Amino acid sequence: MQALNDLLVNCRLLGYLRKLTLNVVMTFLHYVILVSAVCLIAYSLFMWVATGDVWGLGGVFWSSWITFGTVYLGIAIFLRISGVSVAERFIISLTSMVSMIWLFEILYHFSFWNSWNYGIFPYFLLESNNIFLIYGLISLAALSGYKYMKPNRWFWIVLLAMAILWVFWITIGFPQFEFPNVLFDSALPRIVIDNPHVFAFPLNAITKFLLGLAYVLFYLPSRKKLAEAKSSLRNFLMQRGVLDDGSSSTTWN
């Protein structure tokens, strides 16, 4: 009997150590990615402005790197304000960022007029479409934070703005930055404007950022939580002398 009790104690201890180790690893990774996200946003913005070139690391727009970093950073901050544990913040922020990237790719692919039929059954099940089915499954990873998701008016406003811009992008021919002299035919009536390709990059960058912002706003804390966070930040800065508490006054003679 004593041997059985010792075995149970050892199993509980082993389980606790494994959980502790996993939490430490996720906490470490979370803060590494947080710092990396801040550096990525700053570096991308600097290089974009300094070089005047929209293309960044790995052939990806600098604006896209800024969006990816903003999604992780924004969701992590909002979850921290809401009192979510570090491990959950790491998982939710990471899966939301990955989900946003692949959801944009799905929307982008099926916005070309010759791809629309591939989004309809049974064509969607064609082998050539498997990759986008996988993208869709990856996008569902964002559901890891479902219990903290709070649709709000700011979320809907941003999502509506993105949808309007996306429809506008399609109706002017869905021009692409890489192919400035090519306009893709659309089954819908097209708005005829001069030089529509000049809208290609701005629409790509803005819609992608708005989609990322919608992911962030899904976790917008309550006003009470935001007020408490603002007060805590102010007290923190005052304790370190960064802000004046306003208690002292200067007398002029």
pLDDT tens sequence across 65-78: 999 999 999 999 99
For 240-252, the pLDDT digits (tens) are 777 776 554 444 4
Q: What is the arithmetic mean of pLDDT over 218-235? A: 90
Q: How far apart are CA 24 and CA 67, in angstroms?
A: 28
Q: How far apart are CA 199 and CA 165, in angstroms?
A: 11
Would the pLDDT of 80 be above 90? Answer: yes
Q: What is the arithmetic mean of pLDDT over 93-112? A: 92
- Looking at the domain assignment, is residue 152 inside a domain? yes
Would the pLDDT of 35 be above 90? Answer: yes
For 54-64, the pLDDT digits (tens) are 999 999 999 99
User: What pLDDT is attached to residue 182?
Assistant: 65
- Looking at the domain assignment, is residue 156 inside a domain? yes
- Looking at the domain assignment, is residue 170 inside a domain? yes
Would the pLDDT of 24 be above 50? Answer: yes
Q: Please, which residues have CB within 8 angstroms of residue 33's CB and are 6 or more apart in sequence?
A: 72, 90, 93, 94
User: What pLDDT is attached to residue 235?
Assistant: 85
- Looking at the domain assignment, is residue 244 inside a domain? no
Range(s) of the domain holding residue 172: 2-221
For 145-196, the pLDDT digits (tens) are 999 999 999 999 999 999 999 999 988 888 888 776 666 655 566 777 878 8
pLDDT cut 70: percent of the chain above it: 77
What's the token pair of residue 89? 């913040």
- Looking at the domain assignment, is residue 241 inside a domain? no
Q: How far apart are CA 234 and CA 50, in angstroms?
A: 34
- Looking at the domain assignment, is residue 242 inside a domain? no
Q: CA dihedral in degrees (28, 73, 217, 58; nearest 10)? A: -110
Contact 133, 124 (CB under 8 A): yes
User: What pLDDT is attached to residue 15?
Assistant: 54
User: What pLDDT is attached to residue 250?
Assistant: 47
What is the domain count for the chain? 1
What value does the mean pLDDT of the chain take?
Answer: 83
Q: CA dihedral in degrees (193, 157, 144, 120; nearest 10)? A: -40
Contact 72, 93 (CB under 8 A): yes
Q: Please, which residues have CB within 8 angstroms of residue 21's CB and are 6 or more apart in sequence?
A: none
Q: What is the arithmetic mean of pLDDT over 234-238? A: 81
Q: How far apart are CA 203 and CA 177, in angstroms?
A: 10
- Looking at the domain assignment, is residue 102 inside a domain? yes
Specify the pTM: 0.83
Q: Please, which residues have CB within 8 angstroms of residue 119's CB and are 6 or more apart in sequence?
A: 110
- Looking at the domain assignment, is residue 249 inside a domain? no
What's the token pair of residue 211? 């989609």
Q: CA dihedral in degrees (215, 206, 197, 128; nearest 10)? A: -10
What's the token pair of residue 102? 């692949």
Contact 40, 69 (CB under 8 A): yes
Contact 86, 20 (CB under 8 A): no
SS3 195: coil
